[in-house]
Amino acid sequence: MDSGAWLLFLVVVAVSTSGHIHSEAILRLPSESEEISRDYCDSWMLAVETNNAGTWNRVPASCVDFVAEYITGDRYRRDCDVIRNLSAAFAKSVGLAGDGRDAWVFDVDETLLSNVPYYQGVGFGSEIFNETSFDNWVDLAAAPALPAILSLYNELKELGFKIFFLTGRSEFQRNATETNLLLSGYRDWERLILRGSSDQGKPATTYKSEKRAELENEGYRIHGNSGDQWSDLWGYAVSARSFKLPNPMYYIP
Ligand SMILES: *[C@@H]1O[C@H](CO)[C@@H](O)[C@H](O)[C@H]1NC(C)=O
Ligand SMILES: *[C@@H]1O[C@H](CO)[C@@H](O)[C@H](O)[C@H]1NC(C)=O
Ligand SMILES: *[C@@H]1O[C@H](CO)[C@@H](O)[C@H](O)[C@H]1NC(C)=O
């Protein structure tokens, strides 16, 4: 039972034992306020996903339960499955040149790998980001794959795409990141690109655009790009199609 159902249960018990309470008014209140909060958080998340929310730095306190339920539940999994299928349908429609230059780019965090086990311990994004504790988590190399994306990755490889991983993580995290990717099931990617010393401090949009432009200069055609942040997807040297995965836990400009 969730907290609303418990409250309803207790109120019903109180009503049926006392007989003095005006049941309707009391019975409706908890579920109504819960619904208002749920509706608001649903709309807030849509605004986040469409980037109408712009830059934000923590999940509103009233939406922590909503985000927790979403990101640990079936809905997130289904949303990712739909995106997986749309991505695969597009990939199949691409006429690959067969010269080994047809590319797809993936972000790492909340795309290839899920950090939900970490965010569970820090209020699902309701606390300000703590780089030290996140880096400690990265060192554990324990993030599971997003099942939908692992499946898409394998399908793209079979179709013949060259796959590039482009992450905001830094070079010092290369080993932990590669170890984690292997442990969670990824194999035979073309290249893992991390922030080098000259990339530190750049906004993600700038850094990722620069790296994609370098790939284009090497002759790669970037057909698809999958990421949970708008900064993974826009800027310049953008892919023919971009696929935005949901992430209501944090925003990276
Ligand atoms: C995705 O595609 C697979 C294979 O065609 C299908 O079984 C599955 O139902 C689809 N899932 C969604 C959420 O569209
Ligand atoms: C950030 O995380 C580290 C390591 O867990 C911890 O020692 C530190 O107190 C945290 N900082 C804040 C501001 O919570
Ligand atoms: C690579 O990373 C893993 C996971 O963090 C760690 O267990 C291992 O010791 C690291 N290896 C090297 C050579 O640093």
How many domains does one find in the chain? 1
Ligand 1 atom closest to residue 82's alpha carbon, by position in its atom list: 13
- Index of the ligand 3 atom closest to the CA of residue 140: 5
Q: Which two tokens stand for residue 232?
A: 């993974």
The per-residue pLDDT for 36 is 77
| Protein residue closest via CA to atom 12 of ligand 1 | 82
Task: Let me know if residue 227 belongs to a domain.
Answer: yes
CA angle 193, 197, 201 (to 5 degrees): 95
Neighbour-count burial for 20-38, b at 16+ CB within 10 Å, e otherwise: eeeeeeebeebeeebeeeb
DSSP state of 144: P
- What is the Å distance from ligand 2's center to 62 Cα? 24
Torsion (CA) 19, 21, 24, 28 in degrees, nearest 10: -120
* Secondary structure of residue 245 in the 3-state scheme: coil
pLDDT of residue 26: 52
Could you count the other beta carbons within 10 Å of the beta carbon of residue 40? 14
**In the prediction, which pLDDT does 31 show?**
67
User: What does residue 171 show for φ and ψ, rounded to 5 degrees?
Assistant: -50, -35
Residue 151 lies in domain? 40-244
CATH code of 186's domain: 3.40.50.1000
Q: Residue 113: beta bridge partners?
A: 109, 145
pLDDT at 10: 39
Nearest CA to ligand 1 atom 3: 85
User: Which residues have any ligand 1 atom within 6 Å of their CB?
Assistant: 78, 81-82, 85
Q: Which of 114, 79, 104 is nearest to 244 (CA)?
A: 79
CA–centroid distance, 251 to ligand 2, in Å, is 20
In a domain, 112, yes or no: yes
Q: DSSP class of residue 197?
A: G
Q: Looking at the domain assignment, is residue 25 inside a domain?
A: no
Is there a domain that residue 21 lies in?
no
Q: Looking at the domain assignment, is residue 13 inside a domain? A: no
Q: What is the pTM of this model?
A: 0.87
15, part of any domain: no
List, in sequence order, the alpha helices (H) in 94-130.
116-120
Decide if 3 is inside a domain.
no
Tell me whether residue 89 is in a domain.
yes
Q: What is the mean pLDDT of residues 99-128?
A: 97
What confidence tens digit (pLDDT) does each residue in 223-253 have? 999 999 999 999 999 999 999 999 999 999 9
> What is the average per-residue pLDDT within 201-222?
98
Tens digit of each residue's pLDDT (9 = 90 or more) over 35-80: 778 899 999 999 999 999 999 999 999 999 999 999 999 999 999 9
Residue 62 pLDDT = 94
